[in-house]
Structure 1
Amino acid sequence: MGFLTDEVKARLLKDIDVFAKTSEQFFNKEISIGDYKGLSGPFGTYAERGAKTAMYRLRLPAGRITGAQMNFIADAFDRYEIPQVHFTTGQSIQLHGLQGSIVIDLFKDCHSVGIYSRGGGGDHPRNISASPLRGVTPGEPFDITPYVQVASEYVLTLVPDFKMPRKLKISMTNGLESSTHATIKDLAFRAQADGTFTVYAGGGMGGNSRKGIVLAEGVNPKDILYYIKAMVRTFIENADYHTRSKNRTRYMVAEMGEEKFREVFNKFLTFTRRVEDLSFEVPIVNITKVGSEELSADELAQFGGRVVAQSQKGLYAVLYHPLGGTPERAAFQTLLRYTGSLEAVEGRLTSDESLYFINLTAAEAKEVVKLTPDHMPTDFLMSVSCIGASRCQVGFQNSQGLFQDIVTHLDAEGIDTKHLPKMHISGCPSSCGTHQIGRIGFHGAVKLVDKKPQPAFNLFFGGSDALDDVKFGELLGLVTVVDIPKFIAELATILNTANVEFDTWIESHEEDFRALAAKYI
């Protein structure tokens, strides 16, 4: 039996009536944003800028969307008149522009189809992230899918009853890639060839970003819940409750030092093993669907790399990335209705605001490609951008607007984007757009020009989230919003003239890049 019992599901609805009353008071202007946020966050929803609408975050474990959930989301677009959808770097979907009165009903309806958004915000263990193509990628050390499922269910049991100091982010990687930033999370599990996990802890982006330390090696996958519970206890007992901005595990590692942190953690791990039984039966997640047709190498090449063969015979995954991770509502609704009608097909959100559909036959894969003409074809056009200040209460600048301005400017100038790198744009220093691990990254700020404040973004350079080569980008300085499109256009022109990709060009032209950036800083 899994951890999500009827009793646990009922506890996840605890205080829903209180939240409903609080929500009504907020949208009637009877209480403040701060008072509302304290209760709305734990239910996965926040008021948007202007306090007239709300955002609701679907907690989708490791980005998984089942066929039934695809159909539910498609129907919800009409039922709740949802105007905007955004894929997040936390492998979730955010619904924007909602009238406050519908959030409660939407939460309950989501709950009924297995979308448990409790703890989607606030001071809780957040949505677990994991390699999006887990279980379908050739060459994986082992399939982490069942352990992702168990861990995701288990952390939900902790949400209603544990008072956490701040949020806790957990990640798992299949050991082949680190698209979910596994080594820079509060707690992470990396699959190894011998069938065990290496465990990392104390990493994070944002203020005082830090790589995680190796906490343990050779960990039996059936022991992962002991590590999760021990981390929760370590966090609760040792966090800095006086300074909220420092209430993250990376500050604990910095304060204690690596060895002391391991010592403290291992004491809680030993205690947890002694007093709790967190053993579990490994769920069976075998994919039995088989495709009758296989695409040739030439056919796959025609799709530009967005259609990839799975380890299962005749099955394929198709990548979909709309501009800014924000699909057009009606087209996305049609796409979900089609994929939701197919045998064994799942959605798998990524940490760079993309969405894979897996377990597609060759014919189904071709149809998904047809239904997604708005998929962005280059790394640059698949840049990452948080929702930004047009929606977010705490955003400094409009990150989505900046990216759209850059794309519009390049298009108007007739400049090809094929050699530009993927950018990462955050509306503020919080790194929701993961600006710190981008080859080029930006976060919203303000710059004084002639003693007058102007909208601007801090420019970062040289970040990487490669599994064994994590780097946080170097802050180069502030660039105004009006200058950033010109800067990117000039860079693109240089790359196009040289006819070389940015990653290759930069190896011998770093000083040229710095000189170019200096013109605009």
Structure 2
Amino acid sequence: MNDILPAADRLRFEEEARLYQEGARTEEEFRNARVPMGIYEQREHGVYMMRIRIPGGRMTAFQLMAVANAADLYGNGALHFTTRQDVQLHGLTVKSIVPALRALLKVGLHTRGGGGNTVRNITACTMCDLTGYAILNVYPFVRSLTQKLLLEPESYRLPRKLKIAFSACARDCPEGGFSDIGFMARWRDHRFGETLGFQVLVGGGLGARSAAAVELEPFVSPDEVYLVAAAIRSVYQQRGNSGDKNNSRLRFLVQSLGLDSFKRMYLAEKESLRDFLAWPIVPLEGRPQPVGDPSDIPAIRDPEMNTWASECVHEQTIAGFFAVTSPVSMGDITSASAGALAEWLWNSDLNEVRLTQQQNLLIPNVPGKRIPILYDFQKTAGIVRPAPPALSGMCVCAGAGTCQLGICRSKDVAAEIYKMKDNAYWRHPALRFLSIRFSGCMNQCARSTTAVLGFVGAARSLDGRSYPAYQVFWGGQSRGAHSSLAAPVGTVPARWITPLLDGFLDRLAAVLPRDADVARIIRTGRPILHACLAEFQQAPGYDTAPLFYRDWGADDQPFTTEDRGKGECSAGETSIAC
């Protein structure tokens, strides 16, 4: 994908970085140059995060190895996987940014459009070509749309960021129902039979005034995908509120105009673009035959391996091949572990790895006979960290530990919850469907209000002293056009999170049927959560419990929001040399 970063743009950014180091560019000028390139300053001045686009979450083992090497050479030696299938490197200095970018470009990876008012990474179902419940293999559309949009100047001059997702079935794993643009694969019946295509959703998004997406078109043919995206982008660019970033997201435009008015503008724009927008042919790919010989999984007698296999190994449609989830705690993995995994995959002729929306890794097309070998390798390398599904799927943003906008240290409270992994209630069969997400602030990078149980960082005060807290949300579900946001149910001091969760899950598991689905979990859990919150909503006084006025992971620092930085997400504009 090197063609997505033209040489002129790369050289221009390298020049801006050089001038900034020489003192010829101000902080603001450099920020405007680096943010559209996916480079953000962390909470510590002069320390940067680099966000690498991974369209559809798919990368080769060789690319994973290159990212691990870049993290080791230029960052803090760790990779962070996001809920939108990006990879972030942290701890870079201004001197290491350009060498890191060059190293990534050598293996076809880049960061362009990873921040700012741009079309962001396009996400997709991780298993869309592996399982029978997927209607369509959507990845070719992700790849082609990425290659088209990222070479167009219009994709970098938007009122705000634009997020696109492709869902292969009604499960809506990439959460098209909460995206700016959601393409939902579907069949359409007509007198000549059934036709594959997409339902188009528009106007979803999270953060301040979150909203679920609404239907824009019930069905479009596959060859209209680019036309649809370009027409929506064009209406957004022309009519979006670029002067007020708090009201500039696409969902606010849809709401202010009304869906009917927005749709009329969109359809008119779509027709005006139809005659001169050329969309590359995207074949309706099926499920490609994996490389290697299919085989059954050998009998497993090790109880620990058997538990791992039941939770992490998934049958594929093609018999004898399996997809294996490698849980990554809070999306963080060391460069050494990532590099070791990449090398093992490469040597085993398994040259692909996928990033999931739960911040984990998925290894597809593993022959059954290699499953025990893969487990032994990961255990030896320290990659396997057995955890119940609700924990291994728990999503966590970077939080106040590194993010300028973070209010609470979400990673630190999540680490405390991981310590509870041996509690019996996690093994309740139905609780594998309980999604839990922690965000350090209202921007919700962990997508908290789409989860069944979501937490969003906040600040509260008692007797003039501030303490870290979390707004609690319950009942979110992503189901395409039928998605529903979690509702706020209360606020809890950060130090009460662990006893709240422990008591709630213990009571829920005691009454929940073993075969309960998500809807049953939501109905059953709501009154229990309300009752538990009543016990833990009030913080004790400072004299009684001073630790409540310090966040998790910062026992020696009084809690404050005064060290929050300025949000950089909407900074800058990228010029395109096409």
Provide TM-score, normalisation by structure 2. 0.82
Quickly say closer, same or farther: Cα 1:12–1:197, change in 2 above 3 A.
farther
Find the counterpart in structure 2 of residue 418 from structure 1: 427
| Secondary structure in 1 matching 2:171 | coil
Find the counterpart in structure 1 of residue 571 from structure 2: none
Find the counterpart in structure 1 of residue 532 from structure 2: 516
Is residue 71–residue 337 contact of structure 1 (8 Å, CA) maintained in 2?
yes
Between the aligned partners of 1:7 and 1:185, the Cα distance in structure 2 is 23
Quickly say closer, same or farther: Cα 1:235–1:109, change in 2 above 3 A.
same
Check if 1:457 corresponds to 2:470. yes
| Secondary structure in 2 matching 1:275 | coil
The C-alpha deviation readout for 1:244-298, integer Å capped at 9, x for no partner, is: 1111110111011111111001111111112322343539783352433123798
Find the counterpart in structure 1 of residue 403 from structure 2: 392
Find the counterpart in structure 1 of residue 78 from structure 2: 84
Aligned positions of 1:114-263 closer than 5 A: 114-158=108-152, 162-193=156-187, 194-263=195-264
Is residue 452–residue 476 contact of structure 2 (8 Å, CA) maintained in 1?
yes
Report how many residues are paired.
513
Unpaired runs of 5+ in structure 1? Answer: none
- Which of 460, 468, 483 is the matching residue for 1:470? 483
**Which deviates more from structure 2 when the two are superposed, residues 55-64 or residues 306-315?**
306-315
Find the counterpart in structure 1 of residue 562 from structure 2: none
| Secondary structure in 2 matching 1:192 | strand
Is residue 475–residue 522 contact of structure 2 (8 Å, CA) maintained in 1?
no
Find the counterpart in structure 1 of residue 496 from structure 2: 483
Between the aligned partners of 1:433 and 1:8, the Cα distance in structure 2 is 28
- Which of 360, 367, 374 is the matching residue for 1:368? 374
Find the counterpart in structure 2 of residue 10 from structure 1: 7
**Which deviates more from structure 2 when the two are superposed, residues 414-423 or residues 233-242?**
414-423
Check if 1:65 corresponds to 2:67. no
Offset of residue 375 of structure 1: 4.7
- Which of 13, 17, 30 is the matching residue for 1:20? 17
- Which of 319, 326, 335 is the matching residue for 1:320? 326
Between the aligned partners of 2:492 and 2:128, the Cα distance in structure 1 is 39
Quickly say closer, same or farther: Cα 1:458–1:7, change in 2 above 3 A.
closer
Quickly say closer, same or farther: Cα 1:23–1:341, change in 2 above 3 A.
farther
Offset of residue 481 of structure 1: 1.0
Q: Which amino acid aligns with 1:230?
A: A
| Secondary structure in 1 matching 2:172 | coil
Between the aligned partners of 2:374 and 2:46, the Cα distance in structure 1 is 36
Is residue 118–residue 159 contact of structure 1 (8 Å, CA) maintained in 2?
no
Quickly say closer, same or farther: Cα 1:7–1:304, change in 2 above 3 A.
closer
The C-alpha deviation readout for 1:288-342, integer Å capped at 9, x for no partner, is: 5243312379899751231112223422111122221212442222112212334
Quickly say closer, same or farther: Cα 1:497–1:184, change in 2 above 3 A.
closer
Quickly say closer, same or farther: Cα 1:473–1:126, change in 2 above 3 A.
same
Provide TM-score, normalisation by structure 1. 0.91
Is residue 389–residue 397 contact of structure 1 (8 Å, CA) maintained in 2?
yes
Offset of residue 489 of structure 1: 1.7
| Secondary structure in 1 matching 2:364 | strand
Offset of residue 119 of structure 1: 0.4
Which protein, 1 or 2, shows the higher relative CO under an 8 Å CA cutoff with sep ≥ 6?
2
Unpaired runs of 5+ in structure 2? Answer: 188-194, 538-578
Offset of residue 118 of structure 1: 0.5
Is residue 512–residue 521 contact of structure 2 (8 Å, CA) maintained in 1?
no
Is residue 113–residue 119 contact of structure 2 (8 Å, CA) maintained in 1?
yes
Q: Which amino acid aligns with 1:16?
A: F
Find the counterpart in structure 2 of residue 293 from structure 1: 295
Between the aligned partners of 1:186 and 1:278, the Cα distance in structure 2 is 21
Is residue 313–residue 324 contact of structure 2 (8 Å, CA) maintained in 1?
yes
Q: Which amino acid aligns with 1:453?
A: S
Is residue 127–residue 169 contact of structure 1 (8 Å, CA) maintained in 2?
yes
Between the aligned partners of 1:99 and 1:55, the Cα distance in structure 2 is 9
Aligned-residue CA RMSD in angstroms? 2.7
**What is the identity percentage for the equivalent residue pairs of Structure 1 and Structure 2?**
23
Is residue 316–residue 361 contact of structure 1 (8 Å, CA) maintained in 2?
yes
**Which deviates more from structure 2 when the two are superposed, residues 274-283 or residues 163-172?**
274-283
Is residue 415–residue 489 contact of structure 1 (8 Å, CA) maintained in 2?
no
Quickly say closer, same or farther: Cα 1:297–1:196, change in 2 above 3 A.
farther
Q: Which amino acid aligns with 1:57?
A: R
Is residue 447–residue 478 contact of structure 1 (8 Å, CA) maintained in 2?
no
The C-alpha deviation readout for 1:185-214, integer Å capped at 9, x for no partner, is: 111111113311111111111111112121
Between the aligned partners of 1:278 and 1:509, the Cα distance in structure 2 is 47
Q: Which amino acid aligns with 1:253?
A: V
Q: Which amino acid aligns with 1:325?
A: G
**Which deviates more from structure 2 when the two are superposed, residues 128-137 or residues 175-184?**
175-184
**Which deviates more from structure 2 when the two are superposed, residues 145-154 or residues 87-96?**
145-154
Find the counterpart in structure 2 of residue 441 from structure 1: 454
Aligned positions of 1:398-409 closer than 5 A: 398-408=409-419
Q: Which amino acid aligns with 2:389?
A: T
Q: Which amino acid aligns with 1:406?
A: I
Between the aligned partners of 2:207 and 2:88, the Cα distance in structure 1 is 21
Between the aligned partners of 1:116 and 1:386, the Cα distance in structure 2 is 22
Find the counterpart in structure 2 of residue 335 from structure 1: 341
Between the aligned partners of 2:357 and 2:99, the Cα distance in structure 1 is 28
Is residue 64–residue 349 contact of structure 1 (8 Å, CA) maintained in 2?
yes
Quickly say closer, same or farther: Cα 1:330–1:62, change in 2 above 3 A.
same
